[in-house]
Structure 1
Amino acid sequence: MYKHTSIIVLALILGTSFSLAAQPIEEVQVNSPPAVEALLAESGSTEDGLLYMREEEKLARDVYLALYERWGARTFLNIAKAEQQHMDAVGALLAVRNIEDPVAGSAAGEFKNADLAALYTSLVEQGMKSIQEAYLVGAIIEDLDIYDLKEYLSKTTDEAEIWVYTNLLKGSENHMRAFIRQLDRYKVTYKARYISEAELASILSGR
C-alpha cells in the first residue's frame, strides 16, 4: 500500500511541478513524465546529484525572495515560485526513494552544503547593491544551474532523474532569458561564467 501510494503521489507532483508558478515567465513544460513504474527505478541513479540540486534550487529560491523583498521586482517573485516547484520535483524523488532531505527544517539561507551557504551570502550581498546587480545575480545563478544540470544529466541513466533534470534545465533557460531581458533594459551585457558563451547565445536565441 505504501509503495503504491508513493508512486501515485510522485507522479502527481512531477506531473504538475513544472506548469504552475512559472507561467508568467513562459515556463510551461510540454514533456510527459516517464512510465510510473520507472519513477522508482534507481538503476543508474546519482543520489549526490539529487541532494545537491535540491539545495541549489533552494539557493535560487531563497536569493530571489531576498531580492524581491529588497527591490519589489515581480520577476524575482515569479521565478522564486518556479524554483519552489523545481525544489518540489527533486524533493519528490528523494522522498519516494527514502533519501534524507537536506533542506528539511532549514530556514532561508541555511544549507548543509558549505559552498552553497557561502554562495548564498555573497550573492545576496551583491544583489542588494542595485537593481542592476540584482538582475546580474539572477543571471549568475541560472548560469550555474544550467551548468550543473547538464553535468548531472551526463552522469545519470536513471529515467526519472533525466526527466526531472531536463525539465529543470528548460526552466533555468527560461529564467536566464528573463533576467537577460531585464539587464538589457539597463544596457548591461552578461558574460557567461559557467556555461560557454556559445551555450549562452544558443539559449538567448530562443527568446
Structure 2
Amino acid sequence: MGPLYTSKDTALETTPPVQETTSQEPATTQPIDHNVDIDPAPLTDTDKSLSLEGYGAKGALADKNLTINDMLMYAVQDEYLAHGEYLAIVDKFGSQKPYTNIISAEETHLAYLKEVYLAYGLDFPADESAGHIVVPANLLEAAETGVQAEIDNIAMYELFLTYDLPENVFEVFSALKSGSDRHLRAFQKQVDRLK
C-alpha cells in the first residue's frame, strides 16, 4: 500500500473541508472523513470494465453485475445529477437553503470521487447530467425531490458497501453516504416546514 493522505495534504488539493448547514443549523466544518492511498494496488481488468445499465443511483440499483468502475461511474453521475438539480432549483426559485449549502457539498463529493479516479489513473467523467435533470414546479416539490434523490443515493452507497471494495473506494463511498444522510435530514426538515 502506498502513502495515505487526506484532503488537507498537499498531494492533491481538490477537496476543501465541507460546510453543510440547514436553515435551522449554524454553519459547521465537517471533519475530513476519508483517506486516499495515492499509490493503491491496481484495479483488475474486470474491476476496470464498464457496463452500465442506466444512469446514477437508479441505474446502479438496477444493475446486477457491478464492477468497481461501474460503481465509481454511477456515483459520479448521481453526484453530478444532484448538483445540477439543486443548481436548477436555485436558478428557478432564488437562493434557498438548504440547496445553496448542499450544492457546495455536492462539489466536495465530486472532488472526493476525483481523488479516487486520480489514484487509479482513470479519466474523471464529464458532467452529462443535463438530460436527466427535472426542475420541480414549486419549493415543496423541490424538497420532496431532494428527499427522494438522497434516499436513492444512500441506497446506492449502501449497496456498493456490501461489495469487497479496495480501501480507497470503501473510504470514499462511506464518506459520501454519511454526507447524503445529512442531506436527507435537511431536505426532510424542509418538507416538514413547507407542508
* TM-score for the superposition, normalised by structure 2: 0.72
Residues 162-191 of structure 1: CA deviation (Å, up to 9, x unaligned):
11011100100000000000111123xxxx
**Bigger proportion of residues as helix:** 1
Cα pair 1:21 1:78 within 8 Å, conserved: yes
Partner of 1:58: 80
More strand by share: 2
1:21 shift after superposition: 3.3
- Counting only pairs closer than 5 Å after superposition, residues 3-82 of structure 1 correspond to structure 2 as 12=9, 17=15, 19-22=17-20, 28-29=30-31, 31=33, 33=35, 36=37, 40-42=40-42, 46-72=68-94, 73-82=96-105
SS of the equivalent of 1:89 reads: helix
Aligned residues: 166
In the TM superposition, residue 77 of structure 1 has moved relative to its aligned partner by: 1.1
User: SS at 1:144's partner residue?
Assistant: helix
State the match for 1:83 in structure 2.
106
Give the match for residue 119 of structure 2. 96
1:41 is paired with a residue whose SS is coil
When residues 8 and 30 of structure 1 are mapped into structure 2, their CA distance, relative to the original with a 3 A threshold, is closer
Aligned with 1:136 (options 144, 157, 163): 144
* Structure 1 residue 16 displacement after superposition: 7.7
Using the alignment, how far apart are the partners of 1:14 and 1:166 within structure 2?
20
Q: Partner residue of 1:199?
A: none
- TM-score normalised by the chain length of structure 1: 0.68
Partner of 1:162: 170
**Once the 2 structures are TM-superposed, how far is the Cα of residue 99 of structure 1 from its aligned partner?**
1.4
Distance in 2, Cα, partners of 1:14 & 1:163: 16
Cα deviation per residue 1:129-150 (whole Å; 9 max; x = unaligned)?
1110011111111011001111
Whether the 8 Å contact between 2:154 and 2:180 is mirrored in structure 1 is yes
Go from structure 1 to structure 2 and tell me whether the alpha carbon gap of 1:32 and 1:152 turns closer, same or farther (over 3 Å shift). Answer: closer
Identity of aligned residues (%): 24
Q: Cα distance 1:166–1:77, how it changes in 2: closer, same or farther (>3 A)?
A: same
1:18 and 1:9, CA in 2 relative to 1: closer, same or farther beyond 3 A? closer
* Corresponding residue of 1:203: none
The 1:99–1:81 alpha-carbon spacing in structure 2 relative to 1, beyond 3 Å, is same
Letter in 2 for 1:60: A
Question: What is the Cα deviation at residue 155 of structure 1?
Answer: 1.6
**Tell me, which stretches of 5 or more residues in structure 1 are unaligned?**
111-116, 188-207
Q: Tell which deviates more after alignment, 143-152 or 93-102.
A: 93-102
Shift of 1:52: 1.3
- Structure 2, gaps ≥5 residues long: 48-67
Give the drift of 1:10.
6.8
Q: Which segment drifts farther, 13-22 or 156-165? A: 13-22
